[in-house]
Amino acid sequence: MKKKRIYSFIMFFAFILFTAGSCEKEDEDPQLPPVTQTGEDTFGCLVNGDIWLPELVIAFPTQPRVSAKLVREFGYRMWEIGANQGAESSFYFGIHEDSLKVGKVNISTDEVYGRGIGLHYFSKNYEMTSFAWQKGLPVQFTITKLDTVNKIVSGIFSFDAINMSNDTVKITDGRFDIKIDRIDPIQ
């Protein structure tokens, strides 16, 4: 009986800690992070005029809010830059290694997918409301810092994206300043 009472107390205490930790007061006036180049692990933009910021998912504390890595895929290396709000929405940028340099990335002439560029906005549980940039749509993507020694990638972006139903979304005022998580060897 005493063990059951202790177990119940521990479970109740764990429940209180979990729910109290997930009940953060929402910022009543969210702001986009400043444009920085110091590896602050920030990401933000406007999605159809609404502020979009990544969030830590308490149920999955090992899932990063933001990430940047240079990975080996399909025989070549590709930069993957991402940010998420858990199951709500996320951003994913896939850019071929040779295309990512400090300065404006010339996306409109690069091949999409394959050895080129992929800019994606996934909304609401990754359903078919996912949006991707396509050639012919407005796009601006500038790398302001790329430091593989100190592992920092920073930039600004804006683009229009379209989904399978031909709905469009406007991504504007985007900025990121992320510590690079991983750099795969050249091989």
Q: Is residue 131 part of a domain?
A: yes
Q: Is residue 175 part of a domain?
A: yes
pLDDT digits (tens, 9 = 90+) for 104-139: 887 654 444 444 678 888 876 555 568 888 888 888
Q: Is residue 155 part of a domain?
A: yes
Domains held by the chain: number: 1
Domain that residue 148 falls in: 28-183
Give the per-residue pLDDT at 108: 53
Q: Is residue 4 part of a domain?
A: no
Q: Is residue 2 part of a domain?
A: no
Secondary structure (H, E, C), the chain: CHHHHHHHHHHHHHHHHHHHHHCCCCCCCCCCCCCCCCCCCEEEEEECCEEECCCCCCCCCCCCCEEEEEEEECCEEEEEEEEECCCCEEEEEEEEHHHCCCEECCHHHCCECCCCEEEEEEECCCCCCCEECCCCCCEEEEEEEEECCCCEEEEEEEEEEECCCCCEEEEEEEEEEEECCEECCCC
Q: Is residue 3 part of a domain?
A: no
**166: pLDDT confidence band, cut at 50, 70 and 90?**
confident
Q: Is residue 7 part of a domain?
A: no
Q: Is residue 124 part of a domain?
A: yes
Window from 16-25, 27-36, 86-95, 123-132 with minimum mean pLDDT = 16-25
Give the per-residue pLDDT at 100: 77
Predicted TM-score (pTM) of the model is 0.76
